[in-house]
A = this chain, B = another copy of it.
Amino acid sequence: MGRWEPDAAGRLREAAMALYAERGFDGTTVAEIADRAGVTARTFFRHFADKREVLFAGSEQLQELMVKALAAAPAEATPMEATTIAVLASAEFFDDIRRDYSRRRAAVITSTPELLERELIKMASLTTALNQGLLERGVAPEVAALAAETGVAVFRVSFERWISAPGDVPIAELIHASLKTLSGLTA
């Protein structure tokens, strides 16, 4: 079980994930999620557009965090330094408290094609947002596109390691390791 979340949105998220794990995504209704969370279906829809979005509200927060960090990077940062600052900002989101939730979420998503598709769309949206942020910093289009794609690639690989590794290595450490590997790869 995850940490106790006092807010309705948090309870709905926990309830949805528990039910998806038990009965599968297709076998779960909004009414059941609301019921398990102790709220009405109306409350559910005040927080989420549908039963898929319950698991993706965090993606927008994450993207916002990374885009803000990118914009706040020092003007003299190179494109990859600025991208690295953005990717490292994810550590603020993926802290130790969130790891258990992230692991369980990943298990549900991996076993549900519809959720996996949605995850891919969110990653594509993140890439587009970072690309846009780099363009706004005056980075040349072909450099911005590559830096954004590479940044998201580093994030994905680091995140996968973060949830699959035993123990509690912070994601920032895995991001640094991935960047080092990448630099060696493309040298």
Contact = CB atoms under 8 A, between A and B. Distances in A.
B150 A79 contact: no
Contact of A153 (B121, B146, B161): B146
Interface stretch (A37-45, A54-62, A67-75, A175-183): A175-183
Interface residues of A, number: 29
Most B CB within 10 A of own CB, among A117, A124, A150, A156: A150
A88 to B, nearest CB: 15
A136 interface: no
A165 to B, nearest CB: 10
B157 A80 contact: no
A150 B181 contact: no
Interface in A140-166: 142-143, 145-147, 149-150, 153-154, 156-157, 160-161
A185 interface: yes
B183 A146 contact: no
Given A117-B121, A149-B153, A153-B153, A143 B185 contact: yes
Q: For the complex of A and B, list the 7 residue pairs with the smallest distance between their C-beta atoms, beginning with the closest.
A: A149-B153, A120-B120, A80-B185, A145-B157, A183-B186, A186-B186, A146-B157
